[in-house]
Amino acid sequence: MDAPTFRQQLLQALPELFPGDENTDFRGDAAVAIDKMSADWSAGLLGMPVGDQKAAIKAAVRGGRGTEIYSNVILTIIGKEDETVMPFKRVNRGQLERVLDRHGCDLVLDPVDGELTSIVGVELHDNLVMTALQGLPPWEQRMSTVEGFVLSPGRSLEESATKKVVELMRRQHPEAVAAEIRVISSADGQQREVDGVVIADECAAIVEAKQQLTEEAVPQLESCLRFIR
């Protein structure tokens, strides 16, 4: 039997370099990217340290995809003691992956089902709100620090949207703050639960957070507008 080629050796090493079910899709993308590279590239990569191999493969994958642009993406990075909200007016998958690499984020919360996964397993779209976790598992050791954020992607969306509204309002109203209010009342005494409330000296904002503005979401937002009027 012939010895495996350099490319075949690299393909065989993928499960060890990127283990786990959360990296299944990425390993598939990596296999496609490696297959497009020259034999010399594969041979050179095999002689590198493991960390360099992983970085080179990630770069090759980014070179083959990730150029589609998405608008109004909000990325929240949860650290050991704090969180960072990063809004992007325009961003592509490759840029998000580089941001996550710089902040040491290996896993994100899938906005659809709330499951932990790698960024390659997330379907990106306009108006996406996504949460990333900084560092390595086990997450249970820091659940009190992030206040259950990991277990509640819905709450992640609400808090991220409310913080964004605070930032926008403070441009004209520096005193604007998020209020601990989730139920508002209309003039005729009816009540409605909302995702967030931001108040300033002479005005207020009601937050209704949506992953994306779908046809189903439009009537809900219109109903909220009629209520607060």
The arithmetic mean of pLDDT across residues 106-116, rounded, is 75
Co-location of 182 and 195 in the same domain: yes
Kindly report the CATH number assigned to the domain that includes residue 142: 3.10.20
Co-location of 93 and 35 in the same domain: no
Co-location of 159 and 177 in the same domain: yes
Q: What's the pLDDT at 124? A: 82
Co-location of 117 and 168 in the same domain: no
pLDDT tens column, 68-109: 788 888 888 887 777 788 888 888 877 888 888 888 887 888
In a domain, 28, yes or no: yes
Q: Identify which of 88, 83, 114 has the alpha carbon closest to the alpha carbon of residue 99.
A: 88
In a domain, 1, yes or no: no
pLDDT tens column, 8-54: 888 899 999 888 888 888 888 888 888 877 777 888 888 888 888 88
CA gap 61, 57 in Å, rounded: 6
Of 124, 150, 176, which marks where a domain is finished? 150
In a domain, 12, yes or no: yes
Co-location of 168 and 224 in the same domain: yes
Q: What's the pLDDT at 84? A: 84
pLDDT higher than 60, residue 178: yes
Co-location of 76 and 135 in the same domain: yes
Co-location of 48 and 26 in the same domain: yes
In a domain, 40, yes or no: yes
In a domain, 159, yes or no: yes
Cα angle at 188 between 183 and 190, to 5 degrees?
Answer: 30
The domain in which residue 94 lies consists of 69-150
Q: What's the pLDDT at 65? A: 53
- Distant-in-sequence, close-in-space partners of 76: CB < 8 Å, separation ≥ 6: 83, 84, 85, 86, 129, 130, 131, 132, 156, 159, 160
In a domain, 10, yes or no: yes
Least confident of 58-67, 69-78, 195-204: 58-67
CA gap 114, 131 in Å, rounded: 10
Of 64, 84, 103, which marks where a domain is finished? 64
Q: Identify which of 86, 79, 183, 191 has the alpha carbon closest to the alpha carbon of residue 130.
A: 86
> How sure is the predictor about 57, in pLDDT bands with cuts at 50, 70 and 90?
confident
In a domain, 90, yes or no: yes
pTM, two decimal places: 0.39
Co-location of 139 and 165 in the same domain: no
In a domain, 102, yes or no: yes
Domain count, the chain: 3
pLDDT higher than 50, residue 154: no
Co-location of 139 and 167 in the same domain: no
Of 14, 48, 64, which marks where a domain is finished? 64
